Amino acid sequence: MTACRTWKILCLVVLLSAGLVGCKAKGGSDSNAVAATADEAVELMARNLADGKPDALWNSLPDSYRADATELVHEMAGKVDVELWSRSFRVLSKASTLLRDKREFILAHPMVAGQIKDRDEAERNWDSVVDLFDVFVDSELSDLNKVRNLDIERFLATTGREFMAELSDASKLTAENGYGESMNKLRKTKAKVIESSGDSATVEIKRPDTPAIREDWIRVEGRWIPKELADGWSTQMADARSKLALMSDDDPESKQKALMQLAMIEGALDSLIAANTEAEFNAGIGAMMGMAMAAAMANGEGNGATISMAPTGQQPFMPMTMGNTQAPAPPSAGTPFPAPSPGSGKTIAGNDIKVSGDRIPPNEAHKYVNQVFGVTDRQGREMRGRLQSVDGDALVFERSVGGGTITFEYAKNEIASLHLIN
Q: Average of pLDDT values for 374-403?
A: 79
Q: How confident is the model at residue 401 (pLDDT cuts 50, 70, 90)?
A: low
- Residue 390, amino acid: V
pLDDT at 335: 33
pLDDT at 170: 84
What would the pLDDT profile of 176-214 be if each residue is shown by its tens digit?
A: 888 999 999 999 999 999 999 999 999 999 999 889 999
pLDDT surpasses 60 at 120: yes
**What are all long-range contacts of 90-97, with beta carbons under 8 Å and residues at least 24 apart?**
90/266, 91/262, 91/265, 91/266, 91/269, 92/136, 92/137, 93/137, 93/138, 93/142, 94/266, 94/269, 94/270, 94/273, 95/133, 95/137, 95/269, 96/130, 96/133, 96/134, 96/137, 97/269, 97/273
Kindly report the CATH class assigned to 253-420. mainly beta
pLDDT surpasses 70 at 313: no
C-alpha to C-alpha distance for 94 and 198, rounded to whole angstroms: 55
Name the residue with higher pLDDT: 296 or 275: 275
Domain residue extents for the chain: 3-190+225-246, 253-420
pTM over 0.75, yes/no: no
C-alpha to C-alpha distance for 152 and 16, rounded to whole angstroms: 11
Share of the chain above pLDDT 70, in %: 73
Q: How confident is the model at residue 54 (pLDDT cuts 50, 70, 90)?
A: very high
pLDDT at 341: 35
Q: How confident is the model at residue 7 (pLDDT cuts 50, 70, 90)?
A: very low
What would the pLDDT profile of 235-261 be if each residue is shown by its tens digit?
A: 999 999 998 888 766 678 888 888 888
For residue 390, give the H/E element and its range.
Answer: strand 382-391
User: To the nearest whole number, what is the mean pLDDT of the chain?
Assistant: 77
Q: How confident is the model at residue 217 (pLDDT cuts 50, 70, 90)?
A: very high
Q: How confident is the model at residue 391 (pLDDT cuts 50, 70, 90)?
A: confident
pLDDT at 393: 85
pLDDT surpasses 70 at 328: no
